[in-house]
Amino acid sequence: MACFLASVFFLVLQSYAAPPELLQAAVTLHTLDLEAGTSANVSGDLPPPGTSKRAPHSIIIGVRKGGTRALLEMLDIHPEVAVAATEVHFFDWDENYAKGFEWYRDLMPYSYPRQITVEKTPGYFTSPLAPERIRAMNSSIKLLLILRDPAERVVSDYTQVYFNRLESHKPVQAIENLLVRNGALNTRYKAIHRSLYDVHMRNWLRHFPLEQIHIVDGDTLIHDPLPELQKVERFLNLPPRIVSSNFYFNQTKGFYCIRSDGRERCLHESKGRPHPAVNSTVLQKLRSYLREHNHSFYRLVKRTFDWQ
């Protein structure tokens, strides 16, 4: 009790420096935490004044290993963008979806009225349920889809799983053993299915017009990020705030890193891992299989990409 009274006395002494409503909220939070027998950082539990949690205005829907994390962190440079810190996976599992849109909103970051909130979950693009459920939440939401060469995406997908299994001390297989079965391409391999962009895009276009889906070229974003981000700014109706000085090329890592608010940061060390060398015959089988799907995708989105 003495500890509680001392804490309140300290808060009262700060009343001339803090608005009354914030002071009352701090006292209430501190009281609740003491009653629960926990210790809380009161200032950390309070939202910034004038902010609120809202459902996202835009979602980066995928694709896995296409550059979703890079896109999200680069958008975070913009002062009028608030990004979700973690992937939500809201629409992929019934138990999460059943909790309702309010639960989804509560997972979003605090944002100011002029800010737009952005969430990214790369599994949305290949989810059969996500398009319909996202449309039910907000039929006018703006969707960002970042793609890269689908064959390279397959190899990158394998690389991520390979290193994850190594770190978990699980057995690993050579990529050729997964790509080929009985002399033929193993089209049931999940990594290949994720790269059938036309198949997944058709599902999204059943629920959203093409004008609501902006496609980011993930290969270009890696080598020259600014033009792609300027296109995203225009799509989201944001004022142009991202500039060339926000990026610098890291010779050690081999890709662009971010410079913002006086800080420099690169993507997590798990990004940009070297890909394994793939048998050229096997890689050619993969590219041949994907070629028709790529052309089908080009027709759907009325745009072509420099994919082999």
293 assigned ligand-binding residue? no
179-184 contact pairs (CB < 8 A, 24+): 179/154, 179/278, 179/282, 179/285, 179/286, 180/282, 180/285
278-287 contact pairs (CB < 8 A, 24+): 278/155, 278/175, 278/176, 278/179, 279/176, 282/175, 282/176, 282/179, 282/180, 283/151, 285/179, 285/180, 285/185, 286/151, 286/154, 286/179, 286/185, 286/192, 287/151
272 assigned ligand-binding residue? yes
Q: Collapsing DSSP states into helix, strand and coil, what is residue 87? A: coil
The alpha carbon of 94 is separated from its chain's Cα centroid by a whole number of angstroms, namely: 20
148 touches 272 (CB < 8 A): no
- Set 53, 65, 99, 302: catalytic member: 65
Q: Collapsing DSSP states into helix, strand and coil, what is residue 185? A: strand
d(CA 84, CA 104): 11
66 assigned ligand-binding residue? yes
Q: Between the CA of residue 203 and those of 36, 57, 96, 129, 187, what are the distances in Å?
A: 48, 21, 21, 9, 20
Pull the structure tokens for residue 12. Answer: 């009262």
* 65 is annotated as an active-site residue: yes
Q: Which 8-state DSSP code applies to residue 198?
A: H
99 assigned ligand-binding residue? no
78 assigned ligand-binding residue? no
Strand partners, 217: 147
148 assigned ligand-binding residue? yes
The alpha carbon of 55 is separated from its chain's Cα centroid by a whole number of angstroms, namely: 15
Looking up tokens 């309010």, which residue turns up?
102
271 assigned ligand-binding residue? yes
d(CA 154, CA 236): 29
194 assigned ligand-binding residue? no
222 touches 267 (CB < 8 A): no
156 assigned ligand-binding residue? yes
67 assigned ligand-binding residue? yes
274 assigned ligand-binding residue? yes
Residues in the annotated binding site: 65-69, 148, 156, 256, 271-275
**Which residues are documented as binding site for 3'-phosphoadenylyl sulfate?**
65-69, 148, 156, 256, 271-275
Catalytic positions are 65
